């Protein structure tokens, strides 16, 4: 049946895949299929997995044994992992089935800044199938578009500075542990070496904004540090106190150079929040005029899932290949249906 509502497929029925399922159900967007790796979700009705409270007639399929040949859908939403390399089987299956792919993994925002060879492969595959590949989520309006808008009024530009604090307890214990909360500084230094690859992805925020402003990135430098408080902190999710001087999160410091001489830097903290703190993202533009933008975020889990959902129509409308959210125009709400 013809419909003006996007027909979607969900690949990865975890926390954010289930958010997308609930939004789609609420708006009456057809959910054509849902996939997950083998485990307890497979074989269940998505309505039950996503907490909709009733069956919706979509059974979660094992992504490795399912057939993708007859999928009649517009967009495949991938909410699986942050890495392009790990998500590649999902991208291949959906792109080859003729679906536009919209991914929540953070490497998908700016694939060329993370893995150029894989980005080229995804771009070629999307073009071959005449569909798009893009990545969205909370960074889209709060970090990427806010940076683009801050630089908009400039007639002269020297440097961009981005700072932010994100509550590492907002979306669950996994993120909190990932940022090193609860470790001693020595343990942090040992463990973070393994996480460095994904933490490095944060450098793509200033890179992406510079690229969107027309600059050519030539070099990046990234380092990570533990964030510590000088007083003990009770961490609800760990159900214990983190002693003063132990790690409550990660600080990422990135510096980007361009061929044109304009630079950008970012100091990003993913850490425990004290009473009264609010997540915020700040851009200061050193140019003429000097401009500043501060974005505050609440309800981050809903925020990031809604950003992904609200980009579905843009992903369908864009030309084939990798399309960055910076090329799609500012995000538009779906509140009116």
Ligand X SMILES: NC(=O)c1ccc[n+]([C@@H]2O[C@H](COP(=O)([O-])OP(=O)(O)OC[C@H]3O[C@@H](n4cnc5c(N)ncnc54)[C@H](OP(=O)(O)O)[C@@H]3O)[C@@H](O)[C@H]2O)c1
Between 20 and 150, name the residue whose CB sits nearer to ligand X.
20
Q: Does 200 bind ligand X (CB under 6 A)?
A: no
Site residues (CB under 6 A) for ligand X, limited to 168-187: 171
- How far, in Å, CA of 334 to CA of 211, rounded? 28
Q: Does 189 bind ligand X (CB under 6 A)?
A: no
Of 137, 147, 182, 226, the residue at the interface with ligand X (CB under 6 A) is: 137
Residue-level length of the chain: 337
| The dihedral formed by the CA atoms of 8, 80, 143 and 300, expressed in degrees to the nearest 10 | 90
- How far, in Å, CA of 25 to CA of 113, rounded? 35
Site residues (CB under 6 A) for ligand X, limited to 252-311: 304
CA dist list (Å): 290 to 13, 155, 164, 252, 283 = 44, 10, 19, 25, 11
**Closest CB 96 distance from ligand X, rounded Å:** 16
Q: Terminal CA-to-CA distance of the chain, rounded, Å?
A: 19
**Closest CB 239 distance from ligand X, rounded Å:** 21
Q: Which stretch binds ligand X (CB under 6 A): 25-33, 92-100, 103-111, 220-228?
A: 103-111
Q: Does 164 bind ligand X (CB under 6 A)?
A: no
Residue window 70-89: x/- pattern of binding to ligand X, with contact defined by CB under 6 A? ---------xxxx---x---
Closest CA to 116 of 39, 12, 204: 204
Q: Does 105 bind ligand X (CB under 6 A)?
A: yes
Of 24, 36, 258, 293, the residue at the interface with ligand X (CB under 6 A) is: 36
CB 318 within 8 A of CB 327: yes
Q: Which stretch binds ligand X (CB under 6 A): 13-21, 200-208, 218-226, 270-278?
A: 13-21
Q: Does 208 bind ligand X (CB under 6 A)?
A: no
Of 33, 125, 138, 306, the residue at the interface with ligand X (CB under 6 A) is: 138
HEC string of 162-198? EEEEEECCCCCHHHHHHCCCCCCHHHHHHHHHHHHHH
Between 192 and 263, name the residue whose CB sits nearer to ligand X.
192
- How far, in Å, CA of 72 to CA of 305, rounded? 23
Residues that bind ligand X (CB under 6 A): 12-17, 36-37, 39, 41, 63, 79-82, 86, 104-106, 137-139, 171, 304
């Amino acid at each position: 049946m013809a419909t003006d509502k996007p027909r979607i497929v969900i690949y990865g029925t975890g926390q954010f895949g289930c958010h997308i399922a609930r939004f789609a159900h609420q708006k009456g967007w057809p959910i054509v299929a849902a996939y997950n790796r083998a485990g307890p979700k497979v074989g269940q009705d998505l309505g039950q997995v996503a907490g909709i409270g009733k069956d919706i007639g979509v059974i979660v399929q094992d992504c490795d044994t399912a057939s993708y040949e007859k999928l009649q859908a517009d967009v495949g939403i991938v909410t699986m992992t942050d890495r392009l390399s790990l998500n590649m089987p999902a991208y291949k299956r959906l792109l080859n089935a003729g679906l536009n792919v919209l991914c929540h993994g953070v490497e998908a925002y700016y694939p060329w800044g993370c893995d150029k060879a894989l980005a080229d492969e995804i771009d070629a595959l999307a073009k071959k199938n005449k569909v798009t590949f893009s990545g969205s989520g909370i960074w889209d309006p709060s970090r990427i578009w806010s940076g683009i808008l801050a630089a908009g009024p400039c007639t002269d530009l020297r440097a961009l500075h981005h700072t932010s604090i994100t509550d590492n307890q907002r979306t669950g214990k996994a993120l909190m542990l990932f940022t090193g909360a609860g470790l001693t500084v020595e343990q942090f230094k040992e463990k973070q070496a393994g996480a460095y690859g994904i933490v490095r992805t944060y450098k793509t925020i200033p890179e992406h904004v510079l690229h969107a402003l027309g600059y050519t990135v030539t070099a990046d430098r990234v380092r990570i540090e533990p964030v510590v408080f000088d007083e003990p902190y009770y961490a609800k999710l760990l159900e214990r106190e983190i002693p003063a001087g132990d790690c409550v999160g990660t600080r990422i410091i990135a510096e980007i150079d361009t061929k044109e001489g304009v630079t950008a830097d970012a100091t990003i903290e993913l850490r425990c929040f004290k009473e009264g703190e609010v997540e915020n993202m700040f851009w200061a533009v050193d140019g003429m005029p000097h401009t500043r933008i501060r974005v505050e975020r609440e309800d981050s889990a809903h925020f990031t899932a809604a950003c992904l959902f609200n980009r579905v129509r843009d992903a369908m409308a864009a030309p084939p290949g990798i399309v960055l959210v910076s090329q799609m125009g500012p995000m538009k709400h779906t509140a009116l249906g």
